[in-house]
Amino acid sequence: MVRVVVEEPLQEPLLPHQGGGGEGGGEAAAAAAAPPPAPRGGTCSTAGGVSNLVTTAVGAGMVALPRAVSETGILLGLLLFFGTAALTLCSTSIIVRYASRYNTKSYGDLVRLHFGRGGAALLQAAIVIHVGGVMIGYCVIVSDVLVGSAPGFRGVLPTLLGRHDNPWWLSRPAVLAAALCGVVAPMLVPRSLAAVARFSRFGVACVLGLAATICLLAGTAAAEGRLAPDVRLLPHAASMGGGTPLGVATSILAVVSVSCLAFTCHFNLVPVQCSLKDPSSGHMLRVLQLALSVCVLVYGTVAVCGYALFGSETDGDVLKNLTAAAVERYVPPAPAAAIVYLIAAAFTFNLLVNFVLKVWAVRENLVELALGVNVMRLSAAPFYGLTALLVAAAYGISILVPSIYALLALVGSTACVTFSYFFPAALIWRLHKHPGPRAGAASMVALGAAMAAIAVYDRLRGRGE
């Protein structure tokens, strides 16, 4: 039986603002409905909070960024990355500021306070759909990297062991199960993000090492005059929808969509804030700024250097370009093989730590959606039972029906925009009466809708090809 400790009743949704202009009138009504401020915080350091946010954001999207730059050229690509980072900082800062102001313990509580149970249910469903789909995708990717696919099975382990005949102990189900039980399960035992931060720090070190390795390879190629011959600083009409206005706009929005997905960390903001020793809004905003700065550094390095190495031949997953044969162009064979294996290991470990933080988000939102209480109020048995069920579901779907990931990605692209941009914009529209913030919120909604439409279009077009 699920046992929970019942807290005070959840707040009712606010009534529409009546009377009084400006921001103060709308927020005064919200303050009346909000619970009184109460001390909250955990044991996580600033570095731990930054590591958890960076690990939440930096996942499989990182390896798709070089291909995005190949469509826009380096300068426009970097400009779009910086713009996306600024947009992410804006939308995440809204969540942090209002979560602190109204002392809510989750993103769902914040939305429930201002938009009622229906709004919270929509938000939580969007998070579960998107993040759950990402969990399944990570299982597929880890299997691809470690084992590979039939008939060759050219993953890291078969290549190292010289076994491409797919014995049961080296099959995708067996290797993925070992990774989830041996690496992910120990990280899911702590009920504190401060403990998870220890693993996140190592995950951040892995992605920084991966970015540094790609940068060193690009530097070596540049010194030897062996960069890809078709690398461009500026965009070319042929790579941007044939140069037509619609084609250019579609290409730019597609790159922005990929970048926004890569920066997504909105669903873990409030849990990370609550885990900090100093959970104040100002301190959390500093943590957020540091985390996004690290993401920009990693993404910019991987995107530009990966594109510089492979040019128009850059794959949608740049790791597929980083084969031993490709790296041997710059270093001797033995170090080249070691570099390829280390890159694969670093990427895989980062995905597994990221998987853990995705479980936190799905678990929290499922419990709030079903029971209306914070997940940390669950006793040990239902807490760990739900955790095991989520991991088993992601594992089972990825093994039994891997093709469903395309459908989840199609729906998830829209779900991601819902919790990343629509609800932060709705909070601004609800609580601010000045035209400036409201215009910014409307622009955020319009851009989010355009990104979702492009993501859906690209997914449908890709499936149809």
Is 238 a residue whose pLDDT tops 90? no
What is the pLDDT, as a whole number, of residue 461?
Answer: 64
Confirm if 350 and 370 have CB atoms less than 8 A apart: no
pLDDT tens, 310-366? 988 888 888 888 888 889 988 888 899 899 999 999 999 999 999 999 999 999 999
Backbone angles phi and psi of 102, in degrees to 5: -105, 10
What is the pLDDT, as a whole number, of residue 295?
Answer: 94
The two tokens of residue 179 are 């990774």
Q: Is residue 29 part of a domain?
A: no
Confirm if 432 and 26 have CB atoms less than 8 A apart: yes
Q: Is residue 10 part of a domain?
A: no
- In 3D space, the residue among 446, 449, 461, 84 whose CA is nearest the CA of residue 255 turns out to be 84
Q: Using CA atoms of 39, 45, 51, 56 in order, give the dihedral in degrees to the nearest 10.
A: -20
User: For residues 245 and 286, which has the higher predicted lDDT (pLDDT)?
Assistant: 286
Q: Under DSSP, is residue 4 helix (H, G, I), strand (E, B) or coil?
A: strand
What is the pLDDT, as a whole number, of residue 407?
Answer: 58
Query: What is the domain count for the chain?
Result: 1
Within 10 angstroms of residue 356's Cβ, the number of other Cβ atoms is: 25
Within 10 angstroms of residue 311's Cβ, the number of other Cβ atoms is: 15
Is 116 a residue whose pLDDT tops 60? yes
pLDDT tens, 6-64? 343 333 333 333 333 444 444 444 444 444 454 456 889 999 999 999 999 998 888 88
Average pLDDT over residues 216-239: 86
Q: Is residue 20 part of a domain?
A: no
User: Global pTM?
Assistant: 0.85
What is the pLDDT, as a whole number, of residue 404?
Answer: 58
Spell out a b/e string for 383-406, using b for 16 or more CB atoms within 10 Å of the CB, else e: beebbeebbeebbebbbeebeebe
Backbone angles phi and psi of 276, in degrees to 5: -75, 150
Mean pLDDT over each residue of the chain, to the nearest integer: 84
Return the DSSP state at 171: S
Q: Is residue 55 part of a domain?
A: yes
- Amino acid residing at 287: V
Bridge partner residues of 44 (DSSP)? 276
Confirm if 272 and 101 have CB atoms less than 8 A apart: no
Domain membership of residue 164 as a residue range: 39-464
pLDDT band at 202 (very low <50, low <70, confident <90, very high): very high
- In 3D space, the residue among 353, 350, 303, 310 whose CA is nearest the CA of residue 330 turns out to be 310
Q: Is residue 28 part of a domain?
A: no
pLDDT tens, 377-392? 899 999 999 999 999 9
**Residue owning tokens 């579609």:** 250
Q: What is the DSSP code string of 224-270?
A: TT-S-TT--SS--GGGTGGG-HHHHHHHHHHHHHHHHHHH--GGGHH
Q: Is residue 254 part of a domain?
A: yes
CA pair distance 299, 65, nearest whole angstrom = 7
Is 308 a residue whose pLDDT tops 80? yes
User: For residues 21 and 374, which has the higher predicted lDDT (pLDDT)?
Assistant: 374
CATH number, position 210:
1.20.1740.10
Q: Is residue 19 part of a domain?
A: no
Is 5 a residue whose pLDDT tops 50? no
Least confident of 42-56, 241-255, 368-382, 420-434: 241-255
Listed in sequence order, the DSSP H helices in 324-377 are 324-327, 333-371
Q: Is residue 297 part of a domain?
A: yes
Task: Kindly report the three-state secondary structure assignment for every residue of 399-463.
Answer: HHCCCHHHHHHHHHHHHHHHHHHHHHHHHHHHHCCCHHHHHHHHHHHHHHHHHHHHHHHHHHHHH
pLDDT band at 237 (very low <50, low <70, confident <90, very high): low
Q: Under DSSP, is residue 189 helix (H, G, I), strand (E, B) or coil?
A: coil
Per-residue CA distances from 9 to 110, 115, 120, 372 (Å): 14, 16, 15, 9
CA pair distance 71, 225, nearest whole angstrom = 23
The two tokens of residue 23 are 């921001």
The two tokens of residue 164 are 């491409």
Listed in sequence order, the DSSP H helices in 34-106 are 46-57, 65-72, 74-101
